[in-house]
Each structure stands twice: as structure tokens, then as C-alpha cells.
Amino acid sequence: MALLPIICYPDPRLHKVAKSVKTFDDRLKKIVADMAHTMYEAPGVGLAATQVDIHERIIVIDTSDSREELKVFINPEIIWQSDEHKIWREGCLSVPDYFDEVDRPNKVRVRAFNENGEVFELEAEGLLSVCIQHEMDHLIGKVFVDYLSPLKRMRIKGKMKKREKLYSN
């Protein structure tokens, strides 16, 4: 398994819209394995392919304490969401060391394929629901900071650019 480089905000590649996966093959299974390895090493609870410069509709998530309950979502779609919302403090592997509150539906039902091309549905609430929505946003070119005020986004962008200069020297 390879450790994939994670793209950091405000890189414009984070705003690319991902394409649907058409072929469920060994290449896809390798991408999923590499993404899972990258997510666990980061460490994070979710990772979208967009974040590692693969612009296909692939998400890996593991919100378990044991880190042994990997969920793979290929071509996910939310088919239902609750009217009840909850505010969660979110972070993102593409926006290191920054957390802020985002208002999202508390429950969602998602339909997706696994890496073998088998369709499934999953109802999620709490952290798993937030994680699914957060990672699905990446697939449409949206980063969680896009939910924040323009002033906060500008400050985060400035901090991320300073961070990039610091780590590139």
C-alpha cells in the first residue's frame, strides 16, 4: 500500500468535481487500499479521492475507536436526510490544524457501491453522518471551510499559504 500525498487548501484541485467510477477492477481496489492506508496514517476518520488528486467518486471512512471498521463508498448518493440538523465541530485532512462548526442534517441515508461493485444502502447518524456528508462534499469540489464566512475563509487561506511556505523550505 502506498501513502498518498494529501492536497491542502486552498489548492484549486480540491474544487474539481469527481467523475463516477465506471469500472470495478484491481486498479480501483488498489486506490481504495492506498486511500485507507493514507487516512489511517494521517490520522483521519475519512478521506475522499479528490483529496489525493484522484478525481473519482470514491470515499473511505472509519469512525470506529478500533480503526477496524473501514467503510468504502463508490459513487455515493444521499437518498434521504433528516429535517433535524446538528452543529458539529469539523476538521479536515486538507485543512490541517483547523476546526470549526458546520450545521448539517443529523441523519442521512446513503446508497453506494463497495469496491466489488455491490450496491448497498446505509443509514447513518451522528459522527458517521457528518463524515459521509463532509467527504461527499469533496466529490463535488466543496471543502468544509466553504460553509464558513468569507472573513474566516480568507484567514484560513492565509494560514494555509504560510504553512505551505514553511513546509516547502
6 in a structural domain:
no
Known binding residues for Fe cation are 92, 134, 138
**Residue 95 lies inside a defined structural domain of this protein:** yes
List per-residue pLDDT tens for the chain, 169 residues long.
Answer: 899 999 999 999 999 999 999 999 999 999 999 999 999 999 999 999 999 999 999 999 999 999 999 999 999 999 999 999 999 999 999 999 999 999 999 999 999 999 999 999 999 999 999 999 999 999 999 999 999 999 999 999 999 988 888 777 6
Does 144 map to a domain? yes
Whichever domain contains 154, its CATH number is 3.90.45.10
Residue 151 and residue 130: Cα distance in Å, rounded? 24
Q: CA 12, CA 2: separation in Å to the nearest integer? A: 24
Q: Which domain holds residue 81?
A: 12-168
Residue 96 and residue 163: Cα distance in Å, rounded? 9
User: What residue numbers does the annotated binding site cover?
Assistant: 92, 134, 138
Residue 137 domain flag: yes
Q: Is residue 4 part of a domain?
A: no
In a domain, 7, yes or no: no
Query: pTM for the whole thing?
Result: 0.95
Q: How many domains does the chain have?
A: 1
Which residues are identified as catalytic?
Answer: 135
